[in-house]
Amino acid sequence: MRRNRTTPEVNAGSMADIAFLLLIFFLVTTTIDTDRGISIRLPPMPEENQPENDIRIKERNVMKVLVNANDQLLVNGELLGVKELKRRAKEFIDNPRKDPNLSESPTKAVISLKNDRGTSYNIYITVHNELKAAYNELREAKANADFGKPFEKLNEAQQNQIKDYYRQVISEAEPENVGGV
């Protein structure tokens, strides 16, 4: 007896429709991620009749970073390249060798940033980035030392503990127009 031995075929008639449906679905739902950047929080505007409270901070606890209209950096009165800024900032914040000229403790460290109206935006972002990088690296190192895990993997309480220890204080002074641009 002869049997009909044709192999059964999958019905592929609607495959093109399904493919198009998927294509359109992903076209519509994909958002192209281009929004990234350095997040900061601005200090609130002082109230008009607010008494000027002069908080005195010891000289050694402040790292003064000045950027002039020619994009040159002056850190505590010393001309510095932007590439050295992170190392300097880390040294200043952490002060592992207890240098009497650097900050007493990371919690007390304040970085004061001042720029000119003629400073380029590019260098401003670079400086901000380096300072942020300094803090991030210190936090990362502490997370590894204290909890044996990278900062990202810690729970919120642990992260806050480290954030409190390396409190990021970058104070920005009102800019001045000295460069004459």
Partner 1 sequence: MVTTVMRQTDLKVKVVVPQATEIQKLEKKSLVSYIYIGTPTETYRAKFGTAPRIQLNDAFASPNQVIEFIEKERAARSEAEVPLLTTSIKADKEAKMGIVTDVKQELRKCNALKLNYSSSKRAEVYN
| Binding-site ranges for partner 1 (CB under 8 A) | 31-45, 82-83, 85-87, 115-122, 124-126, 128-130, 132-133, 136, 175, 177, 181
Comparison of 7 and 34: residue with beta carbon closer to partner 1: 34
Comparison of 21 and 181: residue with beta carbon closer to partner 1: 181
How far lies 135's CA from each of 5, 78, 86, in Å?
Answer: 73, 21, 9
Comparison of 22 and 40: residue with beta carbon closer to partner 1: 40
Minimal distance, residue 42 CB to partner 1, in Å: 4
Q: Report the distance separating Cα 96 and Cα 76, nearest Å.
A: 19
**Sheet holding 78-80: strands in order across?**
78-80, 73-75, 62-67, 110-115, 170-172
* Burial grade of 73 (CB within 10 A; 0-12, 13-18, 19 or more): buried
Instruction: Give the alpha-carbon dihedral of 25, 28, 34, 39, to 10 degrees.
Output: -100
Comparison of 4 and 30: residue with beta carbon closer to partner 1: 30
Minimal distance, residue 106 CB to partner 1, in Å: 18
Q: Judging by DSSP bridges, how do beta strands 73-75 and 62-67 pair with one another?
A: antiparallel
Minimal distance, residue 88 CB to partner 1, in Å: 11
Minimal distance, residue 13 CB to partner 1, in Å: 33
Q: Which of 102, 170, 176 is nearest to 136 (CA)?
A: 170
Comparison of 61 and 134: residue with beta carbon closer to partner 1: 134
Minimal distance, residue 149 CB to partner 1, in Å: 20
